[in-house]
């Protein structure tokens, strides 16, 4: 029997682990198939406070993990295949580990950026392909970049990138955008933004070190073209990693976990959510870490006020 189990090892989960371990709660952290979360796919992180010269994403995550371990957090590698939060204690089925029972649960499984799934894309993540303009835009000062997408997030990121890039080209497979009119108007009024509508992305091109272009199919002419670019930002949305919950936790229509405003509490007492799995808007490492702290404090207070087990005999 565990006091608290944390699912996920991104900035949110690791921050929760640090706080709970320091509170002598001995959290058990379950690492999924991508320990460290999306930051392990990022090269240099320059917007996380405390690192004047920046820090590599994998190094930041490794440091946070070691910090949690230093205070007594336990880490196990496995994939959660089933969760039962219908009764206490809560039960998890974890591949490679088996059944785990816990008094409380912190969900920090994050969200996965949707990718185009074209040749050259995954191989060049961190080398010119990005899914976060606010994370990586600074690296493209004075350079040409491409945004792939036609929704509000694509328009927002395109406008943001014009603060750094010399030219931003929006590529969308249709001739009409899905973005709201106000977001479209803002993009169309920006003289740094050009348009590549009716273009289907086919392949990310690189020289082996960095991105050099995007091959597209022109829907109108049927011809393949190459857009020369220094960077490609994929902005076609995110998918929260909540499918494994099988509807037991209240979510919105897109799968993001709903929490009680001002807290990390879900609709199930003793189950908390933090990081990108409940963040529809910001999706930054520092905001994820902040909600991880909140979840740890919420879980600690919950355990203290709902003590139902003699932990001294099981720990």
Strand partners, 167: 144
Residue ranges in 24-86 assigned as alpha helix (H): 57-70
Q: What is the pLDDT of residue 134?
A: 81
Q: Annotated active-site positions, please?
A: 132, 135-136
Phi, psi of 14 (to 5 degrees): -70, -35
Contact residues for 35 (Cβ-Cβ < 8 A; gap 6+): 9, 61, 65, 77
Average pLDDT, the chain: 92
Cβ atoms of 142 and 166 within 8 Å: the answer is yes
pLDDT in tens, 77-114: 998 999 999 999 999 999 989 999 999 999 999 998 89
SS3 state of residue 2: strand
In this prediction the pTM is 0.79
Of 254, 310, 279, give the one whose Cα is nearest residue 12.
279
Distance, first Cα to last Cα, the chain:
8
SS3 state of residue 307: coil
Of 46, 217, 229, give the one whose Cα is nearest residue 143.
229
Measure the CA–CA gap between 153 and 162, rounded to whole angstroms.
14
pLDDT in tens, 243-298: 999 999 999 999 999 999 999 999 999 999 999 999 988 888 999 999 999 999 99
Whether 172 has a pLDDT exceeding 60, the answer reads yes
């Amino acid at each position: 029997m565990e006091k608290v189990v944390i699912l996920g090892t991104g900035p949110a989960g690791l921050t929760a682990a640090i706080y709970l371990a320091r509170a002598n709660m001995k959290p058990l952290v379950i690492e999924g198939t991508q320990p460290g979360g999306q930051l392990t796919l990022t090269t240099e992180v320059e917007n996380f406070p405390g690192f004047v010269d920046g820090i590599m994403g994998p190094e930041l995550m490794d440091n946070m993990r070691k910090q949690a371990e230093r205070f007594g957090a336990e880490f196990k590698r496995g994939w959660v295949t089933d969760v039962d939060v219908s009764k206490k204690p809560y039960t998890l089925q974890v591949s490679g580990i088996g059944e785990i029972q816990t008094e409380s649960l912190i969900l920090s499984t994050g969200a996965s950026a949707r990718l185009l799934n074209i040749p050259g894309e995954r191989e060049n993540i961190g080398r010119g392909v990005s899914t976060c303009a606010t994370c990586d835009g600074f690296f493209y000062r004075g350079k040409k970049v491409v945004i792939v997408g036609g929704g509000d997030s694509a328009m927002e990121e395109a406008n943001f990138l014009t603060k750094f890039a010399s030219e931003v080209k929006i590529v969308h497979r249709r001739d009409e955008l899905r973005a709201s009119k106000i977001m479209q108007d803002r993009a169309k009024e920006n003289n740094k933004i050009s348009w590549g509508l009716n273009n289907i992305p086919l392949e990310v091109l690189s020289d082996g070190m960095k991105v050099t272009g995007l091959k597209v199919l022109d829907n109108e002419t049927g011809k393949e073209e190459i857009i020369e670019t220094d960077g490609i930002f994929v902005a076609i949305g995110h998918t929260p990693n909540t499918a494994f919950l099988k509807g037991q936790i209240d979510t919105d229509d897109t799968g993001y976990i709903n929490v009680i405003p001002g807290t990390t509490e879900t609709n199930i007492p003793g189950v908390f959510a933090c990081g990108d799995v409940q963040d529809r808007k910001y999706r930054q490492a520092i905001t994820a870490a902040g909600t991880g702290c909140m979840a740890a404090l919420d879980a600690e207070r919950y355990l203290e006020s709902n003590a139902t087990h003699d932990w001294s005999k099981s720990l």
